Chain A
């Protein structure tokens, strides 16, 4: 039938959810429709956001542990002055791998993984907007990470720092393939992150439950939206820079070569234009975890919802105006620097507003000090130190002494661990029951928290001192007799305490997976929609798409949940709503499991890895990659019968 004919044909009887089809019978049929096939092929073909989200988080935590082991090795080397536990070459590779793994393979992917898992559940929909693209992103991320770590095993890992400054990383001073491995790892991880960002943005704008206006969506969705837009605007910069670096190294372009009209500072501008928003891309989801946890455990809505939402937006925008504060020592005009000092200090204001709102929420409510709340409190104690040391280095005269010293190492770990990892562990503890259907051990969680909190302070606070006492960054050793022995030894001890705490957390995680107390859908009595789904959620998330009338739907529900009905049951279907008012608009076909994202990754990964060795790989590799992508896009079966309405 032509589309016009289809428009006139009467609707045939198609099973749809509703008063006539609800409860266990509906759920069984939805399960058959939405569950993916079992077996290896089914696993490789999964497009279920929950599965992909868990893969992202688990993979990221494994990279976190590996990068953490590298850190312990470095701390052993630095525990004593003039130590030769590690050669300078090994040390330089180690800190490069540590930084690159933590930033590109842990911090952003873990936040995106949590966002992938939680966004459709919190928004009240059944999957992400582009499920196969999400699956592709995961495989691309994994490929980039594997490539980097295999290079480490093969002793061709990058050794110029996670920031890979030129001309050191250029063709003249870094012969061999190490710097190219770094640059291609960027390509993999940036493609993955960008694809996820577009998917998350689309999901939040178009798939929110009916009635969930932008002003009613959970703060977590605001933060996901803001950080996804930030990813979209910032990551092209590092992708461009790394491509220019590969090009300088492999085909002889002169972007960064001062002898041929190029400029070494071009790299720094492009890198930090990405690099500064990057740290907020890590931090803002951390603040969103805090908002969600505080609401549940203080038993009330967030104080100042609009203030918090607008602060997220303001931080996201301001973050793009700060990047030159990483370049204060490069000798750019001082007049320009003043702008960046002012901007760098101003960004503290929206964060300060968020802190006010959290504290006000605690004040007005009745805080319950569960493990997630402990991490919230630990976060405030720790992150604020990092934020204030950030205010210190926003001043150019102060930064000129402190930049490139251990003071910065202290600052960055205080904000990233305090502002990212602490909320993350609290969030994993908080949502663990939803993901697995079991509770984590509260007792083990509290011990791990205190070990992590105290160990962290012991490891990183002394670094403020060693920085002030003249210890630069990225040094494999330091001379004896300069007073650096004590802070370094304390940091090393602290690092091992942190490692023990992380180990305890992992033990808790694994143990609770098998022996945790079983949890129902809403063990914390939390207000947001994900807690209406079962624990763990069914493949289709919700049997009926919920309707939302407030910011805290489950608290205002009185035991009942308003839902829409009429979606197909035998074919996967979900609901698109309008962007602003979230009125039901389109019935969108769901996407079936597909092996093509995985196969496309293989084709693309081969192109990217081979291009490290020859630029021709890009030319020839286009063909298999193009075939895989075409097969991915090509429709596999016609749309379902009985669809008369097209507008």
Chain B
């Protein structure tokens, strides 16, 4: 069986064996993560063999039948005598280890080359800025009037190599979408980057993977890999300014959000709200989750989040403010229109 076939089978086996998740390193849904799965399979095979050889030899040594007189022990007066052939055994053992490790190092090297090749000539440029505890996402094409700004979500066209420039506004975070690629730390004062070439359409989840404080566990992002057509539709919608409110309740909400505290931190394009400290809300209602993946986007969760973010995500940078019930209704009604 050809090695490529074999690995593909192992990969498929792993993928099939209940490993079909949205945040799964064995998913292999991009070139980078697929390289991981293949290499991991190779390592697993070699390491499993090494393990069973070791414990097998151990058990043999402990339980083998031997006559009392043949052992080289203090009782037989030969406690410093070595078994014949032990030098050869040592050489064989060491050679096996060295050869095994070298083979794995070479395999790892080839995967490195493959990943480097996939990273050349990216076609889509995205900048992700990590904050405590949310992701600021900006699509940066050559044309400045086509910059898209969103938060806690990523849309990627399938088959298009994307390069994601990573920055941090505060502490060290780590950008990780296991189904698609390995992680890349995001370090304040430095610019790092990640490359992703998605190969399979689907919905995935990324999560911060470097401890970054109280709500590190609640810093996720929704990743949608879609066809080029769907991506273009999404991008076009994102480029539109915020939809104007059509109902009186939503208009009241619009007034509140764009003139009161909300506008200090949040930006809603096409309205007076242009705060830069928090996630962009222009197309909030088109997302799947809020608060960086902490809560699904539902009416109830919007109420809960706006009314009391500290109870949903204690320590989060969004303060709990006293909002009168009628204002709350208005705000949620308005936010729901921001598709």
A and B touch in the complex (CB under 8 A): yes
Which A residues lie at the B interface, using CB under 8 A? 87-89, 92, 160-161, 165, 167-168, 172-173, 258-259, 262-265, 298-301, 303-304, 307, 329-331, 334, 338, 341-342, 345-346, 348-349, 352-353, 355-356, 359-360, 362-367, 369, 377, 380-381, 384-385, 388-389, 391-392, 394-405, 467-470, 472-479, 482-483, 525, 527, 551-552, 555
B174 contacts A92, C-beta separation under 8 Å:
no
B71 contacts A356, C-beta separation under 8 Å:
no
Which B residues lie at the A interface, using CB under 8 A? 18-19, 21-26, 33, 35-36, 39-40, 43-44, 47, 50-51, 54-55, 57-58, 60-62, 64, 66, 68, 71-75, 78-83, 86, 89-90, 93-94, 97-98, 101, 104-105, 107-109, 111-112, 115-116, 132, 170-172, 174, 176, 178, 181-185, 187-190, 192-193, 205, 207-218, 220, 293, 314-315
Minimum C-beta distance from A343 to chain B (A) = 11
Given A365-B71, A391-B43, A331 and B192 contact (CB-CB distance below 8 Å): yes
Chain A residues whose CB sits within 8 angstroms of the CB of B315 once the complex forms:
88-89
Contact of B190 among A88, A331, A396 (CB under 8 A): A331
Name which residue of chain A comes closest to B107, CB basis: A395
Given A398-B43, A469-B25, A552 and B79 contact (CB-CB distance below 8 Å): yes
Chain B residues whose CB sits within 8 angstroms of the CB of A369 once the complex forms:
62
Minimum C-beta distance from B195 to chain A (A) = 11
Given A385-B51, A398-B39, A168 and B172 contact (CB-CB distance below 8 Å): yes
A263 contacts B189, C-beta separation under 8 Å:
yes
Chain A residues whose CB sits within 8 angstroms of the CB of B207 once the complex forms:
470, 472
A331 contacts B101, C-beta separation under 8 Å:
no
Minimum C-beta distance from B295 to chain A (A) = 10
B108 contacts A397, C-beta separation under 8 Å:
yes
Contact of B57 among A259, A359, A377, A472 (CB under 8 A): A359
- Expressed in whole angstroms, the Cα–Cα distance for A472 and B40 within the complex equals 18
A88 contacts B214, C-beta separation under 8 Å:
yes
Chain B residues whose CB sits within 8 angstroms of the CB of A469 once the complex forms:
19, 21, 23-26
A173 contacts B213, C-beta separation under 8 Å:
yes
Given A88-B217, A363-B83, A396 and B57 contact (CB-CB distance below 8 Å): no
Name which residue of chain A comes closest to B27, CB basis: A470
B66 contacts A366, C-beta separation under 8 Å:
yes
Given A168-B212, A364-B83, A381-B55, A476 and B187 contact (CB-CB distance below 8 Å): no
Name which residue of chain A comes closest to B214, CB basis: A88
Name which residue of chain B comes closest to A298, CB basis: B73
Minimum C-beta distance from B38 to chain A (A) = 10
B47 contacts A362, C-beta separation under 8 Å:
no
Minimum C-beta distance from A276 to chain B (A) = 18
Chain B residues whose CB sits within 8 angstroms of the CB of A398 once the complex forms:
36, 39-40, 43, 108
Chain A residues whose CB sits within 8 angstroms of the CB of B33 once the complex forms:
401
* Other 5 A-B pairs with CB < 8 A, given A355-B54, A397-B111, A397-B182: A87-B314, A262-B189, A299-B79, A401-B33, A402-B25
Minimum C-beta distance from A292 to chain B (A) = 15
A527 contacts B74, C-beta separation under 8 Å:
yes
Chain A residues whose CB sits within 8 angstroms of the CB of B94 once the complex forms:
349, 352-353, 356
Contact of B98 among A304, A329, A349 (CB under 8 A): A349
Name which residue of chain A comes closest to B192, CB basis: A331
A405 contacts B209, C-beta separation under 8 Å:
yes
- Expressed in whole angstroms, the Cα–Cα distance for A384 and B47 within the complex equals 10
Chain A residues whose CB sits within 8 angstroms of the CB of B57 once the complex forms:
359
Chain B residues whose CB sits within 8 angstroms of the CB of A360 once the complex forms:
61, 82-83, 86, 89-90
Given A264-B188, A299-B73, A364 and B19 contact (CB-CB distance below 8 Å): no
Chain A residues whose CB sits within 8 angstroms of the CB of B189 once the complex forms:
258-259, 262-264
A476 contacts B217, C-beta separation under 8 Å:
yes
B36 contacts A473, C-beta separation under 8 Å:
no
Chain B residues whose CB sits within 8 angstroms of the CB of A349 once the complex forms:
94, 97-98, 101
B71 contacts A364, C-beta separation under 8 Å:
yes
Chain A residues whose CB sits within 8 angstroms of the CB of B22 once the complex forms:
482
Name which residue of chain B comes closest to A165, CB basis: B172
Contact of A470 among B24, B80, B112, B293 (CB under 8 A): B24
Chain A residues whose CB sits within 8 angstroms of the CB of B293 once the complex forms:
479
> Which of A329, A360, A399, A552 has the most chain B CB atoms inside 10 A of its CB?
A329
Given A89-B315, A395-B104, A468 and B54 contact (CB-CB distance below 8 Å): no
B211 contacts A168, C-beta separation under 8 Å:
yes
Contact of A304 among B90, B109, B190 (CB under 8 A): B90
Please give me the 4 A-B residue pairs with the lowest Cβ-Cβ distance, nearest first. Answer: A258-B189, A400-B182, A470-B23, A475-B217
B104 contacts A391, C-beta separation under 8 Å:
yes
> Which of B83, B111, B207, B209 has the most chain A CB atoms inside 10 A of its CB?
B209
Minimum C-beta distance from B114 to chain A (A) = 8
Minimum C-beta distance from B153 to chain A (A) = 16
Name which residue of chain A comes closest to B294, CB basis: A479
- Expressed in whole angstroms, the Cα–Cα distance for A539 and B57 within the complex equals 44
Name which residue of chain A comes closest to B220, CB basis: A479
- Expressed in whole angstroms, the Cα–Cα distance for A260 and B208 within the complex equals 26
- Expressed in whole angstroms, the Cα–Cα distance for A473 and B73 within the complex equals 48
Contact of A161 among B44, B86, B211, B215 (CB under 8 A): B211
B171 contacts A173, C-beta separation under 8 Å:
yes
Given A527-B74, A555-B74, A167 and B171 contact (CB-CB distance below 8 Å): yes
A377 contacts B98, C-beta separation under 8 Å:
no
Chain B residues whose CB sits within 8 angstroms of the CB of A265 once the complex forms:
187, 190
- Expressed in whole angstroms, the Cα–Cα distance for A360 and B207 within the complex equals 47
Name which residue of chain A comes closest to B83, CB basis: A364
Given A173-B213, A377-B58, A329 and B183 contact (CB-CB distance below 8 Å): yes
Chain A residues whose CB sits within 8 angstroms of the CB of B188 once the complex forms:
167, 258, 264
B80 contacts A330, C-beta separation under 8 Å:
no
Contact of B211 among A262, A363, A399, A474 (CB under 8 A): A474
A88 contacts B209, C-beta separation under 8 Å:
no
Chain B residues whose CB sits within 8 angstroms of the CB of A173 once the complex forms:
132, 170-171, 213
- Expressed in whole angstroms, the Cα–Cα distance for A469 and B17 within the complex equals 12
- Expressed in whole angstroms, the Cα–Cα distance for A632 and B91 within the complex equals 54
Chain B residues whose CB sits within 8 angstroms of the CB of A168 once the complex forms:
171-172, 211-213
- Expressed in whole angstroms, the Cα–Cα distance for A334 and B75 within the complex equals 56
B61 contacts A348, C-beta separation under 8 Å:
no
A89 contacts B109, C-beta separation under 8 Å:
no
- Expressed in whole angstroms, the Cα–Cα distance for A596 and B331 within the complex equals 69
A334 contacts B112, C-beta separation under 8 Å:
yes
Chain A residues whose CB sits within 8 angstroms of the CB of B183 once the complex forms:
329, 400-401, 403-404
Q: List 27 A-B contacts (CB under 8 A).
A: A89-B314, A161-B211, A173-B213, A304-B82, A307-B90, A331-B190, A342-B105, A349-B98, A352-B97, A362-B62, A363-B61, A364-B83, A388-B47, A392-B44, A397-B35, A398-B43, A404-B174, A404-B183, A405-B25, A469-B23, A470-B21, A473-B209, A482-B21, A482-B23, A483-B18, A483-B19, A527-B74
A470 contacts B174, C-beta separation under 8 Å:
no
Name which residue of chain B comes closest to A465, CB basis: B19
- Expressed in whole angstroms, the Cα–Cα distance for A360 and B61 within the complex equals 7
- Expressed in whole angstroms, the Cα–Cα distance for A577 and B192 within the complex equals 57
Contact of A397 among B39, B98, B217 (CB under 8 A): B39
Minimum C-beta distance from B98 to chain A (A) = 6
Chain B residues whose CB sits within 8 angstroms of the CB of A389 once the complex forms:
47
Name which residue of chain B comes closest to A305, CB basis: B80
